Structure 1
Amino acid sequence: MNIVVIDYGSGNLRSAAKAFDHGAREAGVAATVVVSSDPDQIMRADRLVLPGQGAFADCRAGLDQIDGLAEALEVAVRRKGTPFFGICVGMQLLATSGFEHRVTEGLDWIGGRVEALTPSDPALKIPHMGWNGLDFTPGCHPVLAGIAPGAHVYFVHSYAMRVDEPRDLLATADYGGPVTAIIGRDNIIGTQFHPEKSQHVGQALIGGFLRWKP
């Protein structure tokens, strides 16, 4: 299996690549993990991973600045059906639009808006940083097989996605109200939290993604 972690100037690429390499070994999947911004490599990949850190607009600009990258992603994921995993802002970029600092168009692969977190409890700090339990229905998605509701994962974010279609929302976390934690549609899945920082739960999720046959 050829796994490409997409390099567009955002996200902890080394940590993501190491996590997917380790996840492949743990899952018994023979895989090669590369970090690349080469559209040709992206088109040939068996699995694609889009990490992301920072502001939505900056991450979108990073994608657009690399010649042919956004187009290669569109063809690979939307037309060819290559399984795709978005992490943190990499997940948020799947939305229709983001509202961090200014309105910015997303990839619009999963309809929704990325808006500022507004916890109902004013004592809760922004950014939302730390471990939170996942709320989801067992059996809702093959990638979540083997993970129990309530499993804790690691978040660092100030903005969150609100999906247009409830069916695209796979899991939430509670931070002064429900916050989108995992989204998915067809061959696409994304997590607001960082699986590479989420210890055994993150590794289980990565393994589920690598075994997944959408």
Structure 2
Amino acid sequence: MAASPKIVVIDYHKGNLSSVARGLARAGAAVEVSDDPAALTRADGIVLPGVGSFADAIAYMAESGQAAAVVEAVAGGEGTPFLGICLGLQLLFERGDEGVSPDAPVSCALDARGGGLGPGAAFEADGSRWVRGLGVLPGSCTRLVSSRLKVPHVGWDQVHLTEAGRVCPLLEGFAEGANVFFTHSYALDGDVEPADVAGVTHYARNFASAVWRGNVFGCQFHPEKSSAHGHLILENFVRICS
């Protein structure tokens, strides 16, 4: 029997990661929860779960060396398989405006997406203050705004598969329109690359709820809290890491 793939769940000291670790273990992985950037070099797969705010999380990841280790591990779309969950999905992208202090010193970016800056650097663009994410995928993360719907978006909602999603290995066997569990106030904005979008959900606006490029995957929803549909996704990721 083949050995279980070793999947490292990144601990950036922002919450309890045990439900993600348990879900991956049930899906067949050998799981290690670690805050050590060096652990990522030994992993068959990496999971960045979603806890806390964009600015706080990326600041810790940058200071601890985790951000650089993730970027190196997943480089070129052919590196270590990576799954970002909720905030972990958002951090994959170029910029977010959640939790950016109005008193934080700002850096001069090469463009409106924070080009030339490292993860965690604050900058100003488009009339707002942003913080640079991991920059693995292009796009922004912004707050959901609605005068009719309650924000944060908490509860079960549908994921509609795109053309890419129908062939995405993470979503193999996932039913079109299946309900999964969300809890978030921020989501990917409309400037993400359409080719990277595997699933779409509508709440306050249409937003990418699943993304995929090469070895990089992300879910805005929580597969570890999404019953059978979520377990299927975790099983698929374990298989990808094998």
**CA distance in structure 2 between the partners assigned to 1:72 and 1:111 by the alignment:** 19
From 128, 133, 146, give the equivalent of 1:106.
133
Contact 2:24 2:234 in 1 (8 A): yes
What is the Cα deviation at residue 11 of structure 1? 4.1
Q: Are 1:3 and 2:11 counterparts?
A: no
Pairs within 5 Å for 1:196-207: 196-207=224-235
Contact 1:43 1:73 in 2 (8 A): no
Contact 2:81 2:215 in 1 (8 A): yes
How many percent identity over aligned positions? 42
Give the match for residue 34 of structure 1: 32
From 159, 163, 184, give the equivalent of 1:157.
184
Q: Secondary structure at the match of 2:27?
A: helix
Q: Secondary structure at the match of 1:114?
A: strand
**CA distance in structure 2 between the partners assigned to 1:55 and 1:62 by the alignment:** 11
How many residue pairs were aligned?
Answer: 205
Give the match for residue 43 of structure 1: 41
Task: Mark the structure with the bigger radius of gyration.
Answer: 2
TM-score after normalising by structure 2:
0.80
TM-score after normalising by structure 1:
0.90
Structure 2 vs 1, CA of residues 213 and 197 (structure 1 numbering), >3 Å: closer, same or farther?
A: closer
Give the match for residue 187 of structure 1: 215
Contact 1:169 1:182 in 2 (8 A): yes
Moved >4 Å (runs of 4+)? none
Q: Secondary structure at the match of 1:212?
A: helix
Give the match for residue 125 of structure 1: 150
Give the match for residue 17 of structure 1: 21
What is the Cα deviation at residue 175 of structure 1? 1.2
Give the match for residue 74 of structure 1: 71
Contact 1:111 1:164 in 2 (8 A): yes
Instruction: Tell me how large the CA RMSD over aligned residues is.
Output: 1.7
**CA distance in structure 2 between the partners assigned to 1:20 and 1:206 by the alignment:** 6
Q: Which runs of 5+ in 1 are unaligned?
A: 25-30
Q: Secondary structure at the match of 1:111?
A: strand
Q: Are 1:141 and 2:168 counterparts?
A: yes
Deviation track 1:122-178 (CA, whole Å, cap 9, x = no partner) reads 221000000001101462311111111111100011110124310011101121331
Amino acid at match of 2:66: L
**CA distance in structure 2 between the partners assigned to 1:42 and 1:143 by the alignment:** 20
What is the Cα deviation at residue 213 of structure 1? 6.5
Deviation track 1:8-63 (CA, whole Å, cap 9, x = no partner) reads 11243111100110112xxxxxx310101122211110000001222110111121
**CA distance in structure 2 between the partners assigned to 1:200 and 1:58 by the alignment:** 32
**CA distance in structure 1 between the partners assigned to 2:238 and 2:50 by the alignment:** 20
Contact 2:56 2:99 in 1 (8 A): no
Q: Secondary structure at the match of 1:129?
A: strand
**CA distance in structure 1 between the partners assigned to 2:192 and 2:62 by the alignment:** 25
**CA distance in structure 2 between the partners assigned to 1:213 and 1:32 by the alignment:** 11
Q: Which runs of 5+ in 2 are unaligned?
A: 101-129
